[in-house]
Amino acid sequence: PMVERKIGESIVREIRQRDPTYLDDPEIADYLNDLGSRLAAAIPGGRQDFEFIVIRDNSINAFALPGGFIGAHTGLLLASESESEVASVLAHEMAHVTQRHIARMLGVQQQAQLPAMIAMAAALLLGSSRPDLAQAAAMAAQGAVVQTQLGYSRDYEREADRIGFQTLAAAGFDTHAMSAFFEKMQRYTRIVDDGTVPGYLRTHPVTTERIADAQARAASQPYRQRLDASEYQLVRAKLRAETGEPRDAVTHFRAAVRDRRFASEPAAGYGLVIALLRNQQPREAAVQLERLRASGLDSPMLVSLAARVRQALGDVAGALAVLKDGVARWPHRRAIAYTYAKALDEAGRHDDALAHLGEQLRLYPRDPALHELKAKAYAGLGKRLQQHQAQAEVYLLRGSLPAAIEQLRLAQTAGDGNFYELSAVDARLKELRAEHARERKESRKR
C-alpha cells in the first residue's frame, strides 16, 4: 500500500505541476471530495484516504490511480443528469482502488520497482485517453519508457461494477443511475461520427452485459429517489459560466433565467452572477445576487460568490465580513478559508491572515496551499526567515525536497530570526537533509 500511495502521489504531483488542464478550483474540489467522502463512509471499514482531483476537459472521463487518488473530467460533471450518476462513476473508480486492480495489473511488489511502476501506471490509466498526462507521469518516472497501453480486464470491470453498486446503494444514492450512465455512454459512442471513442470507454468498455447486470441489481433494490445536493447543480453552473466568452455566458444564463429553462433555478441565477462578474458587470451581478439570496439558497459556494461581488464593487470591508461569517459557519470548507486568507492579506491585515491560517493548519497541517498563503503573509510583514520556513513546507508537501532544503538555507541567512526561530530552522534542515540522503541512497540501489 505504501508503494501504491507513492505511485499515485507522484502522478498527481506531476499533473498538478505540469498539466495545464488541471483545474485548481477549491470549490469544485471541495464538492467532489465531499461526495467522495459520503461514498467512502459506505465502504466496509470506512476507508477515508481517497483524494479527488478535477481535469478541465470536455470528454466524459474519470480515472483511478494507485493509493486512492481519483480524477474526474469536467465533461463528466456537465454530461451527468443527476448527482447519483456522478456518484456511480466515482464508486466504480473507488472499487478499482479498494480491490487493488491497478496494483495487481502492475505487479507492484517492491520499492525498487517504483519508477517503472509510475510510468506503467501512467500508460495504463492515462495513456489511451490523455497522452499529455501520461507524458507528465512518465517524467515522474525518471525517464522510464513504457510503450504498452492496457485497459481493465472484464473480470476487474465486473468486480468494480458489483462493488461500486454496493457502495452506491449503501451511501443512499439512486442505484438506477449506474445503468443510466452506462446507457448514456453507449448512446454517446453511437453518435460520435469521427471514429474516436470517449476516453472513459477505452479503459472501461460498456457492454450490453454490463448494462443488463446494473439494471438487474437496481431492480432488486427498493426504489429510492435521491434529491441532488444544491452544490451539484452549482458546480455544473459554475463550470458552464466560466467556459467560453463572458458575453456568451451572460447571454446563456440570462436566457435560462428569463425563459425558466433550467434544472435548478438557484443554480441558473448563480451561473448568471458569475458570468456577469466575468463580463465586468459587478453592479448587475450584485442585483442578481440579491435575487439569488431571496430564493433561499444557503450554500458555502454562495459565500465565496458574495465576497467576489463585494470585491468587484470595491467594498473590501464588506467582502471580509462575508468571508469571516462564512468561515465561522463552514470551518471545513477550504475554498472559503483560502479566499478569506487572501482577502486579509490583500487588505494589509497580515497578522489576522496568519491567525486565521494557524487555525486552518491545525485542521489541515499537510495542505500546501495554506502554507503558501502563510509564506505570503510573512512576506507582507517583512519576516523573511518565517517566509522561507513556510515556503519550505510548501515545496516539501509538493514533493520537491531539494527546493525545500534551499528555502531553509535561505531562512538561515535571512538575518531577522531570533535564537529559537533559528534553532527550529536548523533542526528542520538537518531532518530534511537526512531524508534527502536516504532517498539518494535508495535511488542508487535501483
Domain boundaries, the chain: 2-219, 383-446
Torsion of CA 111, 116, 117, 123, to 10 degrees: 170
Q: Tell which phi-psi region holds residue 22, choosing left (phi > 0), alpha (psi between -120 and 50) or beta.
A: beta
Q: Residue 27 in contact with residue 304, Cβ under 8 Å?
A: yes
Q: What's the CA gap between 241 and 207, in Å, rounded?
A: 34
The predicted structure's pLDDT at residue 93: 93
The predicted structure's pLDDT at residue 222: 78
Q: Residue 279 in contact with residue 241, Cβ under 8 Å?
A: no
C-alpha cell at 175: 442505484
Q: Residue 231 in contact with residue 335, Cβ under 8 Å?
A: no
Burial of 371-402, coded b for 16+ CB within 10 Å and e otherwise, reads bbbbbbbbbbeebbbbbbbbbbbbbbbbbbbe
Give the ranges where 244-281 is alpha helix by DSSP (H). Answer: 246-259, 265-278
In order of 151, 394, 419, the CA distances from 422 in angstroms are 52, 19, 5
Q: What's the CA gap between 180 and 219, in Å, rounded?
A: 13
The predicted structure's pLDDT at residue 111: 45
The predicted structure's pLDDT at residue 200: 54
What backbone torsions phi and psi does residue 290 show, to the nearest 5 degrees?
-65, -40
Can you give the pTM of this predicted structure? 0.85
Q: Is 130 exposed, middle or buried (0-12, 13-18, 19+ CB in 10 A)?
A: buried
Q: What's the CA gap between 422 and 408, in Å, rounded?
A: 10
The predicted structure's pLDDT at residue 144: 34
Tens place of pLDDT for every residue, the chain, 446 residues? 677 888 888 888 888 888 889 999 999 999 999 999 999 999 988 676 899 999 999 888 898 988 899 999 999 999 999 999 999 999 999 999 999 887 777 664 444 455 555 555 555 455 444 555 555 554 444 333 333 334 567 788 889 999 999 999 999 999 999 998 888 877 766 655 455 545 555 556 666 778 888 889 898 887 777 889 999 999 999 999 999 999 999 999 999 999 998 889 999 999 999 999 999 999 999 999 999 999 999 999 999 999 999 999 999 999 999 999 999 999 999 999 999 999 999 999 999 999 999 999 999 999 999 999 999 999 999 999 999 999 999 999 988 999 999 999 999 999 999 999 999 999 999 999 999 999 888 777 76
Nearest partner of 360 among 348, 381, 342, 386, judged by Cα: 342
Distance of CA 125 to the CA centre of its chain: 17
